[in-house]
């Protein structure tokens, strides 16, 4: 009965997508284990589709239970076909808590990025704790000097924060628990807990009233 309700070509496409997703659910776990003790993921992860992982020398990634990561393939229409990326530079850390959900984020740690429990990252967010380059143009003429003089500061996102799609979170920022960051924001300064904030640069719009 099911086959009669949809065209055969649509059934083949759906079947291929199902097989593809099941493959990457297993392959991504294998990839994570291949990094050894420098990358750990807790119970019941769901890593959907192909993603980029780059773990540099003397760095670590620690992820809690029930981590859900969607990567491209229009799994979240706002992400379209953008792949998720998790990367560290030398001697850097990424720590992600329990029950975190993300759609096609780019998380790149040069020093330390900490994401708390029950955080949701909207489609195509960027979390970057470094300028990546020196602000001195003379330094940038030499890649080694440039890298030595870049400025990096830890990022902390506390529990139950909701980050809107296409938000950019930059170095040295702390976002307080339960706050909501509007889509398309650029966060360059600390955001207190229990508030709604948005804009470029991101500013508090109003406090969230609690019963």
Per residue, the 3-state secondary structure of the chain, as one string, reads CHHHHCCHHHHHHHHHHHHHHHHHHHHHHHHHHHCHHHEEECCCCEEECCCEEECCCCCEEEECCCCEEECCCCCCCCCCCCCCEEEECCCCEEEECCCCEEECCEEEECCEEEECCCCEECCCCEEECECCCCCCCCHHHCHHHHHHCCCECCEEECCCCEECCCCEECCCCEECCCCEECCCCEECCCECCCEEEECCCCEEEEECCCC
Q: Average pLDDT over the chain, rounded to whole?
A: 92
Each residue's pLDDT tens digit, 83-136:
999 999 999 999 999 999 999 999 999 999 999 999 999 999 999 999 999 999
Tokens of 114: 């900490």
Range from 4-8, 15-19, 42-46 carrying the lowest mean pLDDT: 4-8
User: 15 vs 41, which has greater pLDDT?
Assistant: 41
Q: Please state the rounded mean pLDDT for residues 49-72.
A: 95
pLDDT tier at 210, thresholds 50, 70, 90: low
pLDDT at residue number 174: 98
The catalytically annotated residue of 101, 133, 166, 174 is 133
| Residue 44 annotated as catalytic | no
Peptide bond into 201 cis (omega under 30): yes
First vs last C-alpha separation in the chain:
51
Tokens of 85: 């990326």
User: 3 vs 162, which has greater pLDDT?
Assistant: 162
Pairing label, strands 60-63, 93-96 = parallel
Each residue's pLDDT tens digit, 76-98:
888 888 999 999 999 999 999 99
Q: Is pLDDT above 90 for 9?
A: no
Q: Please state the rounded mean pLDDT for residues 28-54.
A: 93
pLDDT at residue number 3: 47
User: 71 vs 17, which has greater pLDDT?
Assistant: 71
Q: Please state the rounded mean pLDDT for residues 47-72.
A: 94
Q: Please state the rounded mean pLDDT for residues 197-210.
A: 93
pLDDT above 70 coverage of the chain, percent: 95
Q: Is pLDDT above 80 for 145?
A: yes
């Amino acid at each position: 009965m099911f086959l009669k309700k949809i065209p055969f070509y649509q059934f083949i496409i759906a079947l291929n997508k199902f097989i593809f997703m099941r493959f990457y659910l297993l392959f991504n776990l294998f990839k994570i284990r291949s990094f050894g003790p420098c990358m750990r993921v807790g119970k019941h992860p769901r890593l959907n589709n192909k993603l980029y992982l780059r773990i540099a020398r003397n760095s670590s990634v620690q992820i809690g239970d029930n981590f859900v990561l969607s990567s491209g393939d229009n799994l979240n229409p706002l992400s379209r076909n953008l792949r998720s990326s998790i990367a560290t530079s030398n001697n850097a850390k990424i720590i992600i808590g329990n029950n975190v959900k993300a759609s096609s984020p780019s998380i790149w740690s040069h020093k330390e990025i900490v994401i708390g429990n029950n955080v949701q990252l909207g489609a195509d967010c960027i979390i970057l704790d470094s300028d990546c380059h020196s602000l001195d143009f003379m330094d940038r003429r030499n890649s080694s000097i440039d890298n030595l003089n870049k400025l990096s500061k830890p990022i902390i996102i506390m529990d139950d924060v909701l980050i809107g799609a296409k938000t950019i979170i930059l170095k040295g920022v702390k976002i307080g628990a339960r706050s909501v960051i509007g889509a398309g924001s650029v966060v360059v300064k600390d955001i207190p807990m229990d508030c709604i904030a948005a804009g470029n640069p991101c500013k508090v719009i109003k406090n969230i009233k609690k019963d």
